[in-house]
Amino acid sequence: MNLLPPIQNDRIISRLPQCFRREAALHRRENFNDKVKTACQEQPSGRLAYKISKVIVVGDLAVGKTCLINRFCKDVFDRNYNATLGVDFEIENFQVLGVPFTLQLWDTSGQERYKCIASSYYRGAQVVIVAFDVNDIGSFSHVRQWLEESLEDNDVAAIQLFLVGTKKDLSSPAQYSQMERDALKLAREIGAEYWAVSSLTGENVNEFFSRVASLGFENSILAELEEKGSATQMGEVPISSHLLYIPSKKEKKCSCCQ
């Protein structure tokens, strides 16, 4: 009996989505790692090894984190600004090389007063997305600080980093090209892959999250093969509890946020 929900067509990935800019990419291979492809071909048919990647999205308030997630998950865009209070999260199911894969997208508040609650959800992330508004140099200057805070409770070596410039639709070509030069330089310095998106027009949003899912999937398979001593078969992946931890509404407040 298939326990997993049906997968939307645009969430079925058979070839590796390419990076946005070769100057700042986590890797530039044309396709998935051969060991990953072999492992997926050889997985016992019918046994669904359930895989999940915890993704946290951080960045200054109002840079567009929630709109980015909502454009991808629900294909909607809200012009009104509704600040995120603490954290919210979405689950997106994919099928990568025939294997079910889930992204758990944690949308955090950029507001200082909610930082204590948001940061308590950073732990156990496999992917960190640091967002800044390409029209707001102040949000760009805070990227390193967001990165530092989000990596505090995580294994830096195992984390995949993405630097995302938002609201690209509001930027003139001249303004944007200067910003991109600075962003590519910073992305290389922090070891992140750079993307620029617009949640209003949808530019690059699906491509970006398909890339996040594909690289997250590849990483999780390689880590599992390594753990099993390069056996080509994947087993069931024990999903540790914090990955599936779902905050109750009342937990959305903590003392410093009262």
Beta strand ranges found along the chain (DSSP E): 12-13, 51-59, 87-96, 99-108, 127-133, 160-166, 192-196
Rounded Cα gap, residues 147 and 144, in angstroms: 5
Query: What does the DSSP 8-state code read for residue 240?
Result: -
Stretch that binds ligand GTP, among 104-112, 152-160, 171-179, 220-228 (CB under 6 A): 104-112
Q: Confirm or reject binding of residue 204 to Mg ion (CB under 5 A).
A: no
Q: Which of 40, 67, 87, 125 binds ligand GTP (CB under 6 A)?
A: 67
Neighbours of 92 (CB within 10 A): 19
Q: Confirm or reject binding of residue 84 to Mg ion (CB under 5 A).
A: yes
Beta carbons of 88 and 103 less than 8 angstroms apart: no
Q: Confirm or reject binding of residue 165 to ligand GTP (CB under 6 A).
A: no
What minimum distance in Å lies between the beta carbon of 248 and ligand GTP?
20
Tally DSSP H helices, then E strands, for the chain. 7, 7
Q: Confirm or reject binding of residue 70 to Mg ion (CB under 5 A).
A: no
Q: Which does 199 bind (CB under 5 to 8 A by kind): ligand GTP, Mg ion, none?
A: ligand GTP
Rounded Cα gap, residues 40 and 225, in angstroms: 11
Q: Confirm or reject binding of residue 130 to ligand GTP (CB under 6 A).
A: no
Q: Give the phi and the psi of residue 252 in degrees, each rounded to 5.
A: -75, 0
Cβ distance to Mg ion smaller for residue 13 or 55: 55
Site track for ligand GTP across 191-210, x = CB under 6 A: -------xxx----------
Q: Which residues bind ligand GTP (CB under 6 A)?
A: 61-67, 78-84, 109-111, 166-167, 169-170, 198-200
